[in-house]
């Protein structure tokens, strides 16, 4: 059953709309312009702006004369008005960032994730890292709104746990959200990593966009937004594409990988390079750091012009294009964004091929152009998105906020 | 830039919320229950209900005693309070339905679509059919809110046209929406067929669902709803899955179809049956009716226990399951609905296999069960959905209605 709406809900929504308008205005905006851009009355805009100034979210930065009238006071976001912590729990490395209200990274730390370390020890290190990050930044703890955790799926949003994550088996059913809430003394939210990456993008981008964000990490996944609202799915697990089939054969044996998850798995890419004599055998123990290192070597060789290394990267380009086409057809997005730790080292090579493969395909059926870009937030994107999620829950206008006692889930 | 909200928008939204609550209550609901279920105040609920009675959308049907208090008056939807026309422009047959406010089909007509008929003649027949349907139903024209047209994609929602539809080449850029608006004297909306089918399902189903509707018509497509809101995509063309790859080989040659659109195309299914000697050669001229007829014969043979016919249907089951898995993984839906004219004749055979293939697949990664159902509206589903679209625009509560001057597109 849908809920109705009422005045308190309207007030909260309009406050978020106005803050969003000021945040996106960049170099300042007057109250009159705020009213114009949001369609709200001058009185409403003025009242809400006064409250936002009092709360420290925005500030006045001076005046501008507009012809004969009274000079207008200019408002802008106070980037240091509030902060949030973002934690990206990745199988290779844990990234912790402190992000300000403008979505900028104030500081960040990395923790390598030893494959066999106890989960309790890793949580201890995360907590110590967050506390150190806040302490050394000089930000008052009362200005840190909360922490977001981005983790590989599947996740259980009700319990705040990971559910049999293939790359993080030790984390199955660990109540990461509640443990961190208790240990950090902050509200903590849990989000799937690719969804967090998409949130980072909506936070940085012009609103109104519909996009699919292909995140190439230890696995490959898609975060997506439709009309600038990130889609979480019925259980917070939208974005699984690993099961999509790609072409077989080509330069690879006909019995080769059949699904994008296998075809692009860094371990398998590296193995293919070893089989073909492009990379030397890996030295045991083979953990995620060793694979990442080998992948970087392969990327460097391909970039330097080694034809055999290049052929392997070209296969990845074809495989990704093979999945981009059905995903954009299904979702009807007009923008494709790429990012993630395994995207970055081969970005230039992939961007030479993927857009053309997609655009030239007879299987692309949308009657509008598709643009291709890279993640605005770079390699920290999932961690930044997890932090933005904290702001998002407090400050971002989505119409669902208007529903009586609607929870943002 | 997002818009704010204001009181007129709130009023319209709450009216839609209340009508929706009454519609879904089925066998009647009191004003007190309306207030409880929507979270609105008793005063607001009462005022809105009075207006809905005056406008003829709902009626009082008697009273019920609840303990010691004053007996409560029971409200229910007036199914004959308003009507809408739904038109499904399919390559084989055009279906025209008159639907009442409860979403029930009052009457329907079929027009076969001769492959070589002039578009002008077909439009003449659609107009005559709509007028005949309204006349013979005895419904006053002033109670018909409008007409919805469901058509194969791609569509141009701005111009109200089809854009190079592969199965309806003559309809490219015909301004079908505006022509019908002028000829029928009714507001006309255009929607992609699979999206219309999904709308029919949200209109009939309990709200809150996230589902993917696999529509097996002359092509195969997916309409989907997330949290009971149908997703249209950035240009109204969401739902293309024809480009998704399926397994190659199996009982078919390794050089066989590689994508679901080819693998399940009725023409190709029939050709496969002819090649294997299961069906006789088709007699020219081979149009959609001939193919549909041959498909029905194949379905009947498979249903009767012919092992070779059954093998072809089993291939279709495997191909569809092969696409259901990545689609539910990507969208994180908890329900899969099947329907369409080529689904119905083999429904029992497919439902024996597809759910098990999906549930048993190691590639299904969602941490929740998936249910499988058939279209509630049967074979008229796209036409019914097109009619419901008309009601939807007027009467259905979506939070976007709350935005100032937001257009429902």
Task: Please check the confidence at residue B177 and state whether its pLDDT lies above 90.
Answer: yes
Task: Please check the confidence at residue B349 and state whether its pLDDT lies above 90.
Answer: yes
Alpha helices in A185-342 (DSSP H): 193-204, 260-263, 266-275, 288-303, 307-331
Q: What pLDDT sits at residue A250? A: 60
Average pLDDT for A284-304:
93
Q: What pLDDT sits at residue B404? A: 56
Average pLDDT for A20-44:
87
Residues of chain B found within 8 Å of residue A334, distances taken between Cβ atoms: 234-235
With CA atoms as reference, the chain A residue closest to B237 would be A332
Distance, CA of A358 to CA of A328 (rounded, Å): 10
Range scoring the smallest mean pLDDT among A20-24, B147-151, B351-355: A20-24
Q: Is A135 helix (H, G, I), strand (E, B) or coil?
A: helix
Range scoring the smallest mean pLDDT among A376-390, B157-171, B254-268: B254-268
Look at A5 and B13 and tell me if their CB atoms are within 8 Å.
yes
Complex confidence, ipTM: 0.90
Distance, CA of B322 to CA of B326 (rounded, Å): 7
Distance, CA of A5 to CA of B17 (rounded, Å): 9
Q: What pLDDT sits at residue A249? A: 64
Model confidence at A376, pLDDT cuts 50, 70, 90, reads confident
Task: Please check the confidence at residue B12 and state whether its pLDDT lies above 70.
Answer: yes
Look at B226 and A231 and tell me if their CB atoms are within 8 Å.
yes
Task: Please check the confidence at residue A11 and state whether its pLDDT lies above 60.
Answer: yes
In the DSSP assignment, the letter for residue A26 is S
Exposed, middle or buried, B203 (CB in 10 Å: 0-12/13-18/19+)?
Answer: buried
Average pLDDT for B358-381:
93
Average pLDDT for A350-355:
98
Look at A248 and B248 and tell me if their CB atoms are within 8 Å.
yes
H/E stretch holding A254 reads: none
Distance, CA of B126 to CA of B105 (rounded, Å): 18
Looking at the complex, report in whole angstroms how far the Cα of residue B270 sits from the nearest Cα belonging to chain A.
Answer: 23
Q: Which residue has the tokens 């998704």?
A: B244
Which tens digits make up the pLDDT trace of A77-132? 999 999 999 999 988 889 999 999 988 999 999 988 766 678 999 999 999 999 99
Model confidence at A15, pLDDT cuts 50, 70, 90, reads confident
With CA atoms as reference, the chain A residue closest to B17 would be A4
Q: B21 versus B134: which is more confidently predicted? A: B134
> Residue A234: which of B246, B333, B363 has the nearest Cβ?
B333
Which tens digits make up the pLDDT trace of B328-339? 999 999 999 999
Handedness of CA A148, A149, A154, A156 (dihedral sign): negative
Average pLDDT for B281-308:
94
Q: Is B144 helix (H, G, I), strand (E, B) or coil?
A: strand
Query: Which residues have CB under 8 Å from A139's CB, separation 6+?
Result: A80, A83, A98, A106
Residues 79-138 of B with CB under 8 A from A: none
Handedness of CA A33, A34, A39, A41 (dihedral sign): negative
Q: Is A17 helix (H, G, I), strand (E, B) or coil?
A: helix
In the DSSP assignment, the letter for residue B281 is P
Average pLDDT for B353-378:
94
> Which is it for strands B58-64 and B93-100: parallel, antiparallel or unpaired?
unpaired
Query: Which residues have CB under 8 Å from A401's CB, separation 6+?
Result: A9, A12, A13, A16, A408
Task: Please check the confidence at residue B206 and state whether its pLDDT lies above 80.
Answer: no
User: Do A40 and A66 contact (CB within 8 A), yes or no?
Assistant: no
CA-wise closest residue to B73 among B84, B61, B81, B82: B61
Look at A232 and B332 and tell me if their CB atoms are within 8 Å.
yes
Residues 205-244 of A with CB under 8 A from B: 207-208, 210, 222, 226-227, 231-244
Residue B146 has φ and ψ, to the nearest 5°, of 165, -175
Model confidence at B115, pLDDT cuts 50, 70, 90, reads low
Which tens digits make up the pLDDT trace of A199-219? 999 887 665 689 999 999 988
Q: What pLDDT sits at residue B397? A: 64
Looking at the complex, report in whole angstroms how far the Cα of residue A105 sits from the nearest Cα belonging to chain B.
Answer: 24
Task: Please check the confidence at residue B23 and state whether its pLDDT lies above 90.
Answer: no
Average pLDDT for B27-44:
88
Model confidence at A66, pLDDT cuts 50, 70, 90, reads low
CA-wise closest residue to B370 among A342, A99, A353, A235: A235
What are residue B26's DSSP bridge partners? none
Model confidence at B406, pLDDT cuts 50, 70, 90, reads very low
Encoding tokens for residue B16? Answer: 């839609």
Look at B6 and A244 and tell me if their CB atoms are within 8 Å.
no
Q: A218 versus B188: which is more confidently predicted? A: B188
What are residue A93's DSSP bridge partners? A112
Average pLDDT for A244-253:
76
User: Do A19 and A52 contact (CB within 8 A), yes or no?
Assistant: yes
Q: Provide the CA B395 distance to its chain's centre, in angstroms.
A: 17
Return the percentage of chain B with pLDDT > 90, whole number: 66
Model confidence at B8, pLDDT cuts 50, 70, 90, reads low
CA-wise closest residue to B395 among B8, B1, B22: B22
Q: What pLDDT sits at residue A409? A: 33
In the DSSP assignment, the letter for residue A265 is -
Task: Please check the confidence at residue B1 and state whether its pLDDT lies above 50.
Answer: no
Q: Provide the CA A264 distance to its chain's centre, in angstroms.
A: 20
CA-wise closest residue to A56 among A100, A4, A108: A100
- B248 in reach of chain A (CB within 8 A): yes
Q: Which residue has the tokens 């279906």?
A: B95
In this structure, chain A runs to a length of 409
Size of interface A-B (CB pairs under 8 A): 225
Q: What average pLDDT does the structure give for chain B?
A: 89
Average pLDDT for A288-311:
95
Query: Which residues have CB under 8 Å from B2's CB, separation 6+?
Result: A17, A20, A21, A38, A207, A397, B403
Range scoring the smallest mean pLDDT among A15-29, B71-85, B181-195, B389-403: B389-403
Distance, CA of A185 to CA of B192 (rounded, Å): 50
Task: Please check the confidence at residue B71 and state whether its pLDDT lies above 90.
Answer: no
């Amino acid at each position: 059953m849908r809920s109705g709406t009422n005045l308190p809900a309207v007030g909260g929504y309009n406050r978020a709309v106005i803050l969003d308008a000021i945040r996106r205005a960049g170099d300042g905006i007057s109250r009159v312009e705020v009213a114009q851009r949001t369609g709200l009355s001058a009185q409403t805009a003025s009242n809400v702006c006064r409250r936002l100034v009092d709360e420290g979210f925005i500030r006045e930065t001076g005046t501008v004369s507009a012809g004969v009238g009274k000079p207008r006071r200019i408002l802008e976001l106070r980037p240091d008005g509030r902060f949030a912590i973002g934690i990206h729990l990745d199988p290779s490395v844990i990234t912790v960032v402190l992000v300000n209200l403008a979505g900028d990274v104030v500081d960040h730390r990395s923790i390598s994730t030893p494959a066999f370390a106890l989960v309790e020890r890793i949580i201890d290190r995360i907590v110590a890292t967050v506390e150190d990050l806040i302490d050394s930044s000089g930000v008052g703890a009362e200005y840190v709104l909360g922490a977001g955790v981005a983790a590989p799926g599947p996740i259980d949003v009700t319990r705040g746990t990971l559910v049999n994550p293939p790359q993080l088996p030790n984390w199955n059913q660990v109540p990461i959200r509640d443990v961190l809430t208790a240990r950090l003394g902050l509200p903590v939210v849990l989000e799937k990593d690719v969804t967090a990456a998409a949130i980072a993008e909506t936070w940085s981008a012009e609103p109104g966009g519909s996009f699919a964000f292909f995140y190439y990490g230890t696995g490959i996944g898609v975060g997506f937004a439709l009309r600038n609202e990130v889609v979480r799915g019925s259980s917070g697990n939208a974005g699984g594409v690993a099961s999509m089939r790609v072409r077989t054969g080509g330069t690879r044996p006909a019995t080769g990988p059949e699904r994008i998850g296998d075809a692009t798995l860094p371990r398998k890419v590296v193995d293919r390079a070893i089989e073909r004599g492009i990379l030397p055998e890996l030295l045991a123990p083979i953990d995620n750091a060793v694979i990442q290192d080998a992948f970087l070597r392969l990327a460097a060789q391909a970039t330097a012009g080694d034809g055999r290394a290049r052929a392997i990267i070209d296969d990845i380009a074809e495989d990704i294009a093979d999945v981009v086409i059905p995903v954009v057809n299904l979702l009807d997005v007009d923008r494709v964004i790429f990012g993630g730790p395994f995207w970055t080292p081969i970005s230039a090579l992939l961007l030479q091929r993927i857009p053309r493969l997609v655009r030239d395909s007879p299987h692309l059926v949308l009657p509008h152009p598709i643009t291709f870009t890279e993640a605005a937030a770079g390699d920290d994107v999932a961690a930044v998105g997890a932090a933005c999620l904290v702001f998002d829950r407090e400050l971002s206008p989505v119409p669902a906020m208007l529903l009586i006692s609607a929870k943002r889930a």
